[in-house]
Amino acid sequence: MTLLPLSPVQANLNAYWSERAPEYDAHQQRPERLPRDVAAWSAIWHEALPEAPADVLDLGTGSGFVAFVHAALGHRVTATDLAEGMVQIAQRRAAELGNAPTFLIGDAVEPDFAPASFDAITNRYVMWTLREPERALANWRRLLRPGGVLALVDSTWFPDGLQANPTPGFAQRYDDRAREVLPLAEARSIDDTLAVVEAAGFTDVTVTPLTSILELDREYGVAPGHDVTLQYLVRGVSR
């Protein structure tokens, strides 16, 4: 894939997530919760995505949790992330599986694929840390076939400001410069994300509270330094 030159801010964020990749993945793979997480997310994505098999692009895939769920549902999955540490973990796991996603280094804002390549585009926990979301959404529409689905999951993680996150290294990477270019990072309502999706021209846009995930978070807890927060699925169609 061809990557355009990235800003110092984006390079900083990539470095942060690469450094955190082992810890982040370990939290995603906690054995006491993993089977229930997979079941809950499988139900969510089964309802959101077209009938399998479909060509699905998972952007900002991290260590690939969502991409692996899509593949297990029978889809043909391509997944990208700019954090090399995350992609390396996903690629190692994929090498052990059949019908595994294809994991690539790639920019969620400028995905390097031909127009009308996919039936669905997904991401989870990406919108809050996405620079230029309007441009990103326009590019995603271009990659979708007529009737293609956009399905994304996010929440209002930092309504009190990015500085509220005590995770080591976070404040150094998500500094004032980052705050200036991440318009959804400190959103106080999921309506801010909804507005960006609708403005990009997606139709039949819906917002669904993910109560099943909220219940799991209450039972098992969330990452250190985070609060239990209701997550939402935002879904739209490209006509």
Per residue in 108-140, pLDDT (tens digit) is 999 999 999 999 999 999 999 999 999 999 999
Mean pLDDT for 25-46 is 98
What range defines the domain where residue 57 resides?
8-238
Domain count, the chain: 1
Q: Is the pLDDT of residue 26 over 80?
A: yes
Cα–Cα distance measured from residue 20 to residue 62, given in angstroms and rounded to the nearest whole number: 10
> Does 2 reside within a domain?
no
pLDDT at 225: 80
Q: Is the pLDDT of residue 99 over 90?
A: no
> Does 162 reside within a domain?
yes
pTM (2 decimals)?
Answer: 0.96
CATH number, position 132 = 3.40.50.150
* 162-217 per-position pLDDT tens digit: 998 999 999 999 999 999 999 999 999 999 999 999 999 999 999 999 999 999 99
Instruction: Report how far apart, in Å, the C-alpha atoms of 224 and of each of 121, 156, 195, 228 are.
Output: 29, 17, 30, 11
> Does 1 reside within a domain?
no
> Does 54 reside within a domain?
yes
pLDDT at 2: 63
> Does 158 reside within a domain?
yes
Residues 141, 200 contacting (CB under 8 angstroms) = yes
Q: Which residues pair with 56 in a beta bridge?
A: 77, 120
Q: Is the pLDDT of residue 5 over 90?
A: no
pLDDT at 216: 98
- Could you give the percent of the chain with pLDDT greater than 70? 98
Residues 215, 209 contacting (CB under 8 angstroms) = no
Which tokens sit at 190? 């999921």
> Does 3 reside within a domain?
no
